[in-house]
Amino acid sequence: MFNVLLGIGCVRASIRRLRTPDRLAILRDVSPGHPRDTHAMEEADAIQDTDPHAEPSTCFGYRAQTQVALTACRSGDGSGLRLSEDDLAPITTQVPTLEWHEAGRPFARLWANAPEFTLWIDEIGWFAIDRRGPSIVLPATSSGIRREARLWGVPAALCFLDRGDLPLHAAAVDINGSAVVFAAPGRHGKTTLAGAFMAAGHRLLSEDLTCIRTSSQVAVWPGPALLRVRKDVFTQLAFARADVVDEDATRMYVMPDRDSRGTGDAVPLRALVFLRTHSSDDVELEPVSDKTESLSDLWTLSFNMPDDRDRARCFASITQLATAVPIWNLTRPLTFASLPRVIHAIEGLVP
């Protein structure tokens, strides 16, 4: 579950807990075919974004304090997150707390000694996360946008989970200054739908990990300005004001330009939409009247560590979310042709 936190898109993977109205311009015209260090937090909160020419360094409500090159952040301020890089020594004797598998072999492992964590990701390397700073050490053995994408996955989620926010397996977009969240497991079209909204001129807030603030006014903290989209989807969607910054065997890494990213300020959350599929061509958007029905789905799609403290905090967050925000079920076919109708239906949720 929640394999996308590791930046692998919608690849099917397993996780083991080892310890406790017609064609719109969104489509291309193509032929068929997570404790507090009080002093550090006060110091971090005093940071001001005074240089309009400084590189954007805000993501998930954090302002990165670092010399590490970051390319997918946004402008604005936030609480401090210290980032550095080092060649970390591998853990070879301890049993991991969590382990993710793909095709019968582990591709990611997490060791927890809270508030410290160590994460290994295949082909990327070793991360060290300390929630007390908070701080994250990135592997010096890799670099670039793929490493940054992993940084803003599990490592960042561990930090903002401790901050009291909710990590949810979901995409989010900004519609007229309000956030709409699309929640679903892998292979339910979250990234494609977020890309279609981006192609239609809406601001991308997050692709597959969404950080939701449930204290005070419920809101979404914008994540990295990065969309990792399948190549067949890329050929169908007409992205403007965006650049391809990398690609791998199956996906294109698409980054909105600096002007269209917006700031890292929290965006009020107006609707949460569960993505469902069916074989008919109908697009159906229905409100969830009994919010208790949504708690099971929200729990499944949330990320938390297998300990009583994190689980209790996570359950409190999803309960607050379900109480405060309208929730909808969207049932539709997974086809490119249905995207204009889906966008039109969801846009109607926000005045």
Per-residue pLDDT tens over the stretch 131-178: 999 999 999 999 999 999 999 999 999 999 999 999 999 999 999 999
Q: Would 29 be classed as within a structural domain?
A: no
Which residue from 172, 135, 174, 171 is spatially nearest to 151, judged by alpha carbons?
135
The per-residue pLDDT for range 50-75, each reduced to its tens digit, is 344 467 899 999 999 999 999 999 99
pLDDT at 215: 86
Q: What is the CATH number of the domain that holds 192?
A: 3.40.50.300
Average pLDDT (26-49) is 42
pLDDT of residue 306: 84
CA torsion through residues 126, 58, 131, 219, sign: negative
- Whole-number pLDDT of residue 325: 96
Domain presence at residue 27:
no
Whether 310 is covered by a domain: the verdict is: yes
Residue 257 lies in a domain: yes
Q: For residue 48, tell me if it sits in a domain.
A: yes
| pLDDT above 90: residue 283 | yes
Q: Is residue 127 part of a domain?
A: yes
d(CA 183, CA 116): 29
Residue 23 lies inside a defined structural domain of this protein: no
Radius of gyration of the chain (CA): 19
Q: What mean pLDDT do residues 95-117 have? A: 91
Q: What is the spatial distance between Cα 301 and Cα 298, in angstroms, rounded to a whole number?
A: 5
Question: What does the pLDDT average to over 294-322?
Answer: 92
Instruction: Check whether 46 has a pLDDT greater than 70.
Output: no
Q: What is the pTM of this model?
A: 0.87
- Which residues fall within 8 angstroms of residue 217, CB to CB, at 6 or more apart? 268
Q: Tokens at residue 214, please? A: 């449930």
Residue partners of 282: CB distance under 8 A and separation at least 6: 331, 332, 333
Q: From residue 127, give the alpha-carbon distance in Å to each of 84, 111, 130, 134, 259.
A: 10, 10, 10, 13, 31
Higher pLDDT, 34 or 142: 142
Q: Where are the beta strands (DSSP E) in the chain?
A: 14-17, 58-59, 62-65, 79-86, 98-102, 105-113, 116-121, 125-130, 135-139, 166-175, 178-183, 203-206, 209-213, 219-221, 227-230, 242-247, 251-256, 267-277, 284-287, 327-332
pLDDT at 31: 42
Domain that holds residue 259: 3-18+35-347
pLDDT tens for each residue of 176-209: 999 999 999 877 889 999 999 999 999 999 999 9
Q: How many helices (H) and strands (E) does the chain have?
A: 9, 20
Q: What number of other Cβ atoms are within 10 A of residue 27's Cβ?
A: 18
pLDDT, position 58: 97
pLDDT at 22: 41
How confident is the prediction for the chain on average, in pLDDT? 86
Rounded to an integer, the average pLDDT of 10-31 is: 47
Q: What is the pLDDT of residue 25?
A: 57
Instruction: Please indicate, yes or no, if residue 163 is contained in any of the structural domains.
Output: yes
In the chain, the percentage of residues whose pLDDT exceeds 70 is: 85
Tokens for 58, please give them: 């805000």
How far is residue 109's CA from residue 122's CA, in Å, rounded to a whole number? 9
In the chain, the number of structural domains is: 1
